[in-house]
Amino acid sequence: MSGFFLVIRESERRQEKAGEGRRRGIAAVGIHNVSEVTNYIKRMFQREPVLGCIQVRGELSNFRCYASGHCYFTLKDAASAIKCVMFRSRAQGLRFRPENGIQVVVSGSISVYERDGVYQLYAERMMPEGAGDLALAFEQLKARLASEGLFDDAHKKPLPRFPKRIGIVTSISGAVLRDIYHVSKRRWPAVQLVLRPVLVQGEEAAAQIAAAIAFFNEKYPVDVLIVGRGGGSMEDLWAFNEEPVVRAIYASKIPVISAVGHETDFTLADFASDQRAATPSQAAELAVPDRAELLRYTESLMARLSQQERRQLQEKRLRLAACLRSAALQNPQLLLAGRAQRLDRAIAALESQMKGQMKEKRHALEIVLQQLDYLNPVHILRQGYGIVEKEGAPLTSVRAVKAGDLLTITLKDGRIPARAVKVQGEDNQEQ
């Protein structure tokens, strides 16, 4: 009986399990397909309240973000790993860039991905462990923009010394605008202030700030820009850490002064700007000169100029007095005597040089005349020679003469008409 009872009890237990399985959508006996088993397990996960809202700490690995905006990654520790997915609607809210190897805390729910039959964490939030997401996002973006050269000192532009028009990008409400106005008008009343009101925090703030900077560069040129807001938390100031704002400041052709928060607050806009001001009031001090200070400086320069003028005038007077006491001015003849003596020596030297040159030229001329005299035909005639001409042309050969030709013989003192009786050549033969 006892054995039968046990059998009966086991049968009853199986029947109870079968009834429970039917209530949950799966029979305790029989053969089931994969989808039925997977759906059953998925409903088990969904009924577990702990898995519906859970936080998991782990190391980020295999992180990939697709063009759809969905992100897939794995959380792991020394012993285990879990697959995770963060859909686009949640991933858009990330303030930092997830990187493999960092420790994070992911909040979400765990369920079963039916296609693969695996459980995974559906992430709704992700926070870096230790430093907050804003701090990590700040450092990540700062490093990336610095590598592109957006913070290089070589790119920074000098501020104009005497600006006529200053553009202001800030909220229309608050103490920032009031502080800038009072300080600038006190220091330089002639300056014109132009406000482009924007939101300084919230989702639309970064786009408005970047658009305002572009507006002044493209449509309403000013001499210098002040971009800033009052103090607040890191989240309140975050618009000035957004990449569009930083790139707009870098691209600005107008010098930009950043005045965000208080002295201890630093934003990426500060690093990209041409000049960082600890406060909005200091920004106004940097933007415009101090009229009172310039007046004092001008007066100081005038005093220095007057003093220098008096000193130079005194020096000129002393030099003039010394000149008047000099021997040359007391007896100018002494100064002229020395110069006259030098002139006489120069004239004598010039005359001596001229005589020497004339002697040399005369001797050279005599030599040339002597040479010309030697070449003169008259000189030859004086030696007893004569010139025989036929019809006015000198004869150089007996072949040009025939018996009976009229000839003219020229001697040193006259001419003799003659007639050729006989012509005889070098071989003593008659021609």
Whether residue 354 lies inside any domain: the answer is no
According to the 3-state scheme, what is the secondary structure of 123-150?
EEEEEECCCCHHHHHHHHHHHHHHHCCC
Residues 253 and 204 sit within 8 Å (Cβ to Cβ): no
Tokens of 343: 């002139």
CA distance 145 to 151: 7
SS3 88: helix
Q: In this predicted structure, what is the pLDDT of residue 286?
A: 92
CA distance linking residue 240 with residue 243, whole number of Å: 8
Indicate whether 180 and 240 sit together in one domain.
yes
The number of domains in the chain is: 3
Query: In angstroms, what is the C-alpha Rg of the chain?
Result: 59
Give the torsion sign (CA, 35, 38, 44, 47). negative
Look-up of token digits 């973000």: 65
> Is residue 214 domain-shared with residue 246, that is, in the same domain?
yes
Two structure tokens written together for 256: 């930009």
Same domain, 58 and 156: no
Query: Does residue 311 fall inside a structural domain?
Result: no
Dihedral class, residue 340 (left if φ above 0, else alpha if ψ from -120 to 50, else beta)? alpha
pLDDT score for 133: 62
Is there a domain that residue 245 lies in? yes
Helix (H) or strand (E) holding 239: none
- Report yes or no: 83 and 118 within 8 Å, Cβ to Cβ: yes
Q: pLDDT digits over 162-172, tens only?
A: 999 999 999 99
pLDDT at residue 418, as a whole number: 85
Q: Is 370 part of any domain?
A: no
Stretches in the chain below the pLDDT threshold 70: 1-29, 130-134, 327-328, 334-335, 426-431
Output the domain CATH number for residue 93. 2.40.50.140
Give pTM, 2 decimals: 0.50
| Run of H or E residues at 404 | none
Residue 97 lies in a domain: yes
Domain assignment present for residue 37? The answer is yes
For the stretch 134-152, what's the b/e string if a residue is b when 16 or more beta carbons lie within 10 angstroms of its beta carbon?
A: bebbbeebbeebeeeebbe
Confidence at residue 18, expressed as pLDDT on a 0 to 100 scale: 47
- Whether residue 184 is contained in a domain is answered as yes
pLDDT for the residue 6: 34
Are 385 and 427 within one domain? Answer: yes
Residue 159 and residue 284 in one domain:
yes
Instruction: Tell me which of 74, 100, 130 is where a domain ends.
Output: 130
Domain boundary residue among 130, 165, 183?
130
CB proximity list for 235: less than 8 A, separation 6 or greater:
134
Tokens describing residue 18: 């079968």
Residue range(s) defining the domain that contains residue 392: 377-431
Domain membership flag for residue 72: yes
HEC secondary structure over 96-108: CCCCCCCEEEEEE
